[in-house]
Structure 1
Amino acid sequence: MLYHMVMLEPANDGAMSQIDAAMAILETLPEAHPGFTAFSHGPNRDFERKSERYPYGFLCTFTDKAALDAYAADPDHQRAGALLVRACKNGAAGIFVVDLES
């Protein structure tokens, strides 16, 4: 399994509407990609107080890297990504991505 975690640092209070629009797009992608097995998103609870900079994020689960690559190349993923870049502080610099494989 491959876990693709993305944490977002919104640029301002109005950025959440763009983030919501991006999440609506991303929610449709698992059904279009057989190796994309799960998608969830929501506020970062930050119980350990170590990631206050990123108050929102999402997690995708893939069967393997090929499935992640297919998702990354999808035009709807790219459209959602563009919305997130516009919504985040300093554009792409306000997006933190981690890929974990188990």
Structure 2
Amino acid sequence: NNEIKQRTFDAIPVEQHLHIFRILQELINNSLRHGKATRIMIVFNKDNNGCYCNYSDNGSGFDTRDIKKLAGLGMKNIESRVAMLEGELRVESEINKGIHVTINF
């Protein structure tokens, strides 16, 4: 199973690795600092439509209706990097239910 994950990540062009790393770094930082998460899960997948990174935590979460108010510089950097990957970003969260982020690229 680890071998499959390694091959999937190797299929991602090396120029994209730094963007993905920085996105995950920011998400992890937010989970720990703001969400007080104790568990974080990151899964990479690939299919005929492209690559996907699914990120989730068990932190405090937030009301996604307030995402524009909550979006600080970190979230803007994530959105900018996803745009550089020519990808899509989806954020799902509820108060006390953690966060789930899907990045398609």
| 1:11-66 CA distance string (max 9 Å, x none) | x612122111211122100123247675432311x6xxxx5324231333554416
The alignment partner of 2:92 has SS state of: strand
Following TM superposition, where does structure 1 have runs of at least 4 consecutive aligned residues deviating by more than 3 angstroms? 34-39, 60-64, 98-102
Residues in 2 aligned to 1:55 and 1:73: alpha-carbon distance in whole angstroms: 25
| Residue from 90, 99, 102 that aligns with 2:92 | 99
5+ residue gaps in structure 1?
A: 1-11
Q: Is the CA contact (8 Å cut-off) linking 1:39 and 1:60 kept in structure 2?
A: yes
Residues in 1 aligned to 2:56 and 2:75: alpha-carbon distance in whole angstroms: 12
What is the match of residue 33 of structure 2? 32
Whichever residue aligns with residue 26 of structure 1, its letter is L
What is the match of residue 52 of structure 1? 48
1:72–1:35 distance in 2 versus 1, CA, 3 Å: farther
Please tell me the root mean square deviation across aligned C-alpha atoms, in Å: 3.7
Which structure dedicates a bigger proportion of its chain to helix?
Answer: 2
Percent of aligned pairs with the same amino acid: 12
Q: Looking at both structures, which has the greater relative contact order when contacts are Cα pairs under 8 Å and sequence separation is at least 6? A: 1
Q: Is the CA contact (8 Å cut-off) linking 1:41 and 1:58 kept in structure 2?
A: yes
Count of residues in correspondence between the two structures: 81
For residue 74 of structure 1, report the CA deviation from its aligned partner: 2.2
| 1:63-101 CA distance string (max 9 Å, x none) | 441697279512112112211211x2xx3xx21526376
State the TM-score, normalized to the length of structure 1.
0.52
Whichever residue aligns with residue 80 of structure 1, its letter is I
Q: Is 1:17 paired with 2:18?
A: yes
